[in-house]
Structure 1
Amino acid sequence: MAILENYHYYILLILLPLLVYFCRLADRRQKKPMEPTNWPLLGFLPEVFLNFHRAHDRITEVLNGCGGGTYTFRGPWFSDTDMLFTSDPTNIHHVFSRNFANYPKGPEFRKIFDILGVGIFSADFHLWEIHRKTTMALLTHADFNARLQKTVWEKAETGLFPLLDRFSLDEVDFDLQDVFHRFSFDNICKIVLDYDPCSLSFEMPHIPCEKAFSVVAEPLLYRHVIPQRIWKLLRWLNIGSERKLLECSKAFSEFIYPRIDAACNDGSVLGLFEDVYRETRMDSSTSLVDFLKDTALNLMFAGRDTTSTCLTWLFWLVAQNPTSERRILEELEAELCLQKKWRFFTAEDSHKLVYLHAALCESLRLFPPVALEHKAPVLPDILPSGHQLPPNAKLIISFYSVGRNERVWGKDCLEFKPERWICPSGKIKHEPSYKFPAFNAGPRTCVGKDMAFVQMKMVAAAILYNYHVRLVEGHPVSTRDSIILQAKDGLKVKLRKRNWND
């Protein structure tokens, strides 16, 4: 009997590789050229490992090449990581607008993004509505635009221009993305916490909280594809990407908690959210100070990453398109009446800059700061594409892929063409949020969208008018594999100060 058992064992060893081979061969015969191989037991896991360094582009290839904009990812059979990816605008409109109530952020989202706590990004239902109403009241307040432009121009005058002047004078290359990160971080800290950490200065100090915003984005992407039991084990062991998240969480807490009391004075931004805490009757496990910390952190995430990421890609795109740069400069001269001499301008003035607005929209279309969104239906649902979703199914919307979909944006979708955003009348062309989801879509469209455009126009105009920006030859520029679509190795540039008197 023992010999017979061993015989069967050896037969199995011989047949198993053949089984794997024929399964793979059958899969290849049926699949399209860009389609990943669905391995027995492992699913698409080998595909993930081979392409994680270019995850967003690989997702786009699959969605455009073989899924008609929607495709099911098969995880290992034991992992519960199957998920449906989509970049189909009809699906996006259905999930984010028409059937909005069936797609809250939900418990799975809150597990993945637990670092955000109970802020607006993770909140659902009544808590989210109160968060949104309060934030809208803040952003539409009569004094807000004046406060925003004062904050931006003071930081430009005391931090941005002196630093860029030195880089220009020394003729050294530097990371423009890092400058934008620091500029945005200082601005949002001043607005939310009434505190300027002065990260943008000659010393370029290392501030753990500022750096944590960039670090945290990569481990959060890993949590989408790593089985939950695995990343929870890594967290318990305090190793790998989960250790980075814990270190980031500590950096956020150590920076924000000491400043909450000072930030909650009468009429302050954070002070407005004390009423949110009381109105929503938060459970006893969340104290007021914890709630305010989470609120501040969410607002800081929104204020730092959207503007800095968009500006980084804008300058990369404009540097490769001299015609667009020239048109922006001509518009600044004509609409702001600069007459070869720079001046600060108001939020109201920024609305005149149509071409610059269009260039920012193109940057956001090609490189949306938030590359993907995670959704899960409460009840069973059928998407307009015909795909069925059971309750709590994992649905991943690739905002990055939407902007690179020929069916949505045409054959020239990979080209930088600000003109596509300008109507014959000369005004900005409106595109529905499900086609242009850079600021999310539907009821959860970012309430800070107008604020972001004002700030980005001010910063972009100030730099482009005063300096000629050149890319450092040979420096690689590609997207980072993270939730936030930053440049992986930064954006190395050299500056030459413009002399408008020549």
Structure 2
Amino acid sequence: MALQIDQPEDILSRFLLEREKDPSEMSVKYLRDIMLTFVVAGKDTTSGTLSWFFFMLCTQPSVQEKVYREVKDVVDDAESLEDFATGITEAALSAMNYLRAALSETLRLYPAIPLDSKMCFEDDQLPGGLDVRKGEVVTYQPYAMGRMKYLWGEDAEEFRPERWLDEQGVYRHESPYKFTAFQAGPRLCMGRDFAYRQMMVFAAVLVRFFVFELGENGKAVKYKPMLTLYIDGGLGLRAFGR
């Protein structure tokens, strides 16, 4: 019996509809693995990045104010939180250039995966001329790369969302081989655009209706060495209604 799904709005239902067209191309195991990837790879990385994002907004009040002005201008006819959230359409997200820039700047300095490794499946040569052999592991560090003056200029350690905007204030993409938070090439994260949408909607709603400050004055915020870049002990915030 064929599965009947009307107007699916969740990603699993959409995959199931595609499977109905040709079950041989999409097994149940394949679907399970995709959904597990979204849950495992998307949950901790997204929540961790948002934590660092709000930390940076608290340390940079001028950036927080710029984000607020932008999201309010883009969805300017909504007074309630519910109406505002409903008004965040694809067109609205596309217009939130500064918010996306601030999130990318957060990921540059605090990448969700600070260190990553790849195994070589066959003999190869890296662009710099280094030979790698089958079975060898190559490790790179997005955390360190995001702070390299060689890549990002003399202000590499400064939180400056403007570096992601062109002269007209439009978001400017960087090469994934330079901005490695989502990896690059065939291994480019399949959930990158989904993650940006999720983080932008969440951040836009909160910044539109609340002002945030660090909750524990004087307490240093440090990361905890793990697979993902967690804030050690969590992030304490105070929120005030606008």
1:386 pairs with 2:129? yes
Structure 2 matches for 1:329-344, cutoff 5 A? Answer: 329-338=68-77, 342=81, 343-344=84-85
In 2, Cα distance between equivalents of 1:437 and 1:421 = 15
Q: Residue 494 of structure 1 aligns with which residue? A: 238
Report the residue type matching 1:269 in the other structure: F
Moved over 4 A (4+): 270-277, 288-292, 338-342
In 1, Cα distance between equivalents of 2:20 and 2:183 = 26
In 2 relative to 1, CA 275–341 (structure 1 residues): closer, same or farther, beyond 3 Å? closer
In 2, Cα distance between equivalents of 1:492 and 1:276 = 49
1:359 pairs with 2:102? yes
Report the residue type matching 1:425 in the other structure: Q
1:319 pairs with 2:62? no
Q: Residue 80 of structure 1 aligns with which residue? A: none
Structure whose residues are more often strand by fraction:
2
Q: Residue 6 of structure 1 aligns with which residue? A: none
**Contact residue 376 and residue 392 of structure 1 kept, 8 A:** yes
Structure 1 unaligned segments of length 5 or more: list them: 1-142, 148-190, 194-266, 281-287
In 2 relative to 1, CA 310–276 (structure 1 residues): closer, same or farther, beyond 3 Å? farther
TM-score normalised per structure 1: 0.43
User: Cα distance, 1:269 vs. partner?
Assistant: 3.4
TM-score normalised per structure 2: 0.84
Residue aligned with 1:469, SS = strand
In 2, Cα distance between equivalents of 1:381 and 1:268 = 39
Q: Residue 139 of structure 1 aligns with which residue? A: none
Match of 1:373 among 95, 116, 119: 116
In 1, Cα distance between equivalents of 2:182 and 2:225 = 19
Structure 2 matches for 1:8-157, cutoff 5 A? Answer: 147=9
In 1, Cα distance between equivalents of 2:222 and 2:95 = 32
1:269 pairs with 2:12? no
In 1, Cα distance between equivalents of 2:127 and 2:29 = 41
1:307 pairs with 2:50? no
User: Cα distance, 1:384 vs. partner?
Assistant: 2.8
When the two structures are aligned, how many residues end up with a matched partner? 231
Q: Residue 176 of structure 2 aligns with which residue? A: 433
Structure 2 matches for 1:343-354, cutoff 5 A? Answer: 343-344=84-85, 345-354=88-97
User: Cα distance, 1:299 vs. partner?
Assistant: 1.8
**Contact residue 192 and residue 300 of structure 1 kept, 8 A:** no
Q: Per-residue displacement from partner, 1:55-84 (whole Å, max 9, x unpaired)?
A: xxxxxxxxxxxxxxxxxxxxxxxxxxxxxx
Q: Per-residue displacement from partner, 1:296-342 (whole Å, max 9, x unpaired)?
A: 21121233133212211110001100110111111122222247665
In 2, Cα distance between equivalents of 1:442 and 1:341 = 42
Residue aligned with 1:425, SS = coil
1:478 pairs with 2:222? yes
In 1, Cα distance between equivalents of 2:21 and 2:112 = 31
In 1, Cα distance between equivalents of 2:29 and 2:241 = 46
- Identity, in percent, stands at 32
In 2 relative to 1, CA 380–289 (structure 1 residues): closer, same or farther, beyond 3 Å? closer
1:421 pairs with 2:178? no
Range with bigger deviation, 300-309 or 333-342:
333-342
Q: Between Structure 1 and Structure 2, whose CA radius of gyration is higher?
A: 1
User: Cα distance, 1:474 vs. partner?
Assistant: 3.6
In 2 relative to 1, CA 477–392 (structure 1 residues): closer, same or farther, beyond 3 Å? same
